[in-house]
């Protein structure tokens, strides 16, 4: 059984003529386009450490199968605000698991998206029986942009990558 030992958070945006092209460009901007992505649900592994993309990506091989919680939003409607976020809630007891949440929405500014993603992760952690006082912290990674005014596709991605 595989349980990740590290997690890093990343985000990116991309624009292209096609939806898939803009998604690929967003993944490239986030530094994760060279991997085979497997989307997973919302558990932050017990005892996992949080690392930076810079200290992790260089040692990863292209083509590797990489598990991640991924939030994505795309549109080709000119001038539309698109936002994606990953929220995280961690318990004080590192032997317990935490929660990761995906948030993606139109017309939401980053501050509101961050709060929504963190609130969702906190809510999921509280449903496990953890008490509010037993939550160490919540945080998020969020990205927002306005879509191309020329009708091109624009995509934003936020990810928690589990290694």
CATH code for position 53: 3.50.20.10
- Between strands 98-106 and 81-91, the pairing is antiparallel
Write out pLDDT tens, residues 101-158: 999 999 999 999 999 999 999 999 999 887 888 999 999 999 999 999 998 999 999 9
What positions carry a catalytic annotation? 36, 41-42, 102
Strand, coil or helix: 26: helix
Is 109 inside a domain boundary? yes
Strand, coil or helix: 119: helix
Is 1 inside a domain boundary? no
pTM: 0.94
Write out pLDDT tens, residues 13-55: 999 999 999 999 999 999 999 999 999 999 999 999 999 999 8
Write out pLDDT tens, residues 62-94: 999 999 999 999 999 999 999 999 999 999 999
How does 4-26 read in b/e, with b if 16+ C-beta sit within 10 Å? beebbbbbbbbbbeeeeebbebb
Domain tally, the chain: 1
Half-sphere exposure of 84 (CA within 13 A, CB side): 25
Q: State which residues form the domain around 96.
A: 6-162
Report how far residue 14's alpha carbon sits from residue 154's, in angstroms, rounded to the nearest whole number. Answer: 6
């Amino acid at each position: 059984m595989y349980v990740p030992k590290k997690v890093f958070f990343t985000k990116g945006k991309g624009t292209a003529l096609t939806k898939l092209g803009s998604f690929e460009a967003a993944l490239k901007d986030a530094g994760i386009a060279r991997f085979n992505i497997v989307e997973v649900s919302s558990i932050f592994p017990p005892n996992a450490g949080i690392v930076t993309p810079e200290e992790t990506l260089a040692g990863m091989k292209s083509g590797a199968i990489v598990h991640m919680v991924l939030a994505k939003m795309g549109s080709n409607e000119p001038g539309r605000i698109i936002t994606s976020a990953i929220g995280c809630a961690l318990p004080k007891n590192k032997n317990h698991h935490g929660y990761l949440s995906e948030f993606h929405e139109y017309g939401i500014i980053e501050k509101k998206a961050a709060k929504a993603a963190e609130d969702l992760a906190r809510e999921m952690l509280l449903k496990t029986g953890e008490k509010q006082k037993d939550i160490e912290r919540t945080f998020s990674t969020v990205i927002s942009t306005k879509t191309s005014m020329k009708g091109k596709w624009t995509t934003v991605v936020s990810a928690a990558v589990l290694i």
